[in-house]
Structure 1
Amino acid sequence: MEKDISSKEIVTVVVDASTIIALCRINKLQLLKHLLGKIYIPNAVYYEVVIKGREKKGANIVKEAIGKWIERKEVENRVAVDLLSGNLGDGEAESIVLAKELGADLLVIDEEKAKKLAISKKLPVVGLVRILIWAKRKGLMKELKPSLDELVKAGFRLDDETYSYVLQMEGEL
């Protein structure tokens, strides 16, 4: 059953790099803050977004948010990370392990292989599109379509079927 973003049941949230990067590209990173409050990112996500991505849009915004509403957290179980890193990127692997370690109420991750693995580990998972749907339903944006179009234009992979389904479900098609 999907968690209700309006309730108090979502407290501890781990977010992977792809969501942060995509939201930075469309100037909507603040949606995470407004919807979820404080979020956690593992060191590998910090490295990918802020260090490796220092010349990219939003890197400084993320860096400035560290210690405020984004908390950078060291993963303790390096063995688990190493095992997952064989199939996933470092950011995804650390995000899954950190979510497990923190007993996260939610893991926001988009890479399909990582999502399936997280679900198999009994983690509650959503992707970026679900975050945008919640934002619209909470009145933080009037329409989904412009944001979805911007995401696709910025290189976010969203197949036509999902795009149409989401817009139809939200009464925009």
Structure 2
Amino acid sequence: MSKKLEFQEIYHSHYPKVIRLCMGYLSGNEALAKDMAQEVFIKVWQYLKDFRGEATISTWIFRITVNTCLQELRKKKTKSLKIDIASNEANEDPESEKQFASMYRCINKLSAENKSIILLELEGLPQKEIAAITGLNHAAIRTRIHRIKDQLSKCVKNE
């Protein structure tokens, strides 16, 4: 398979997950999330030849995504990112919009590492894969996810 065809297949199968993860990191800012997703796939294209297969391609791409988004957040540390609810579909239930916004506000209060963990969990990644991406062991991930969910529940209730 040519590099171009291989990349196109990778792009199409991973873009939806990458954009959702970026949206989570960037407080639902769709334009910035699309920019970050583009950055991720530029890096994937550039380094695909160097991919050694020590992890799955998905794990490798998620690690690039996490690192790219964290790098962007460090650059923008002085600016506060706001949730762009207007970009959501107009026919959404106003109550679910409030819950969505509240959840993202609470997620944004988490440490960078906990934010990574919960966004990957919300993306539906297996906990072992989250451990591989974050560099933590599986038991630590299970414990953290439980604690993070408790913390988020309390935060959302207090909003």
TM-score w.r.t. length of structure 2: 0.27
Considering fraction of residues, name the structure with more helix.
Answer: 2
TM-score w.r.t. length of structure 1: 0.26
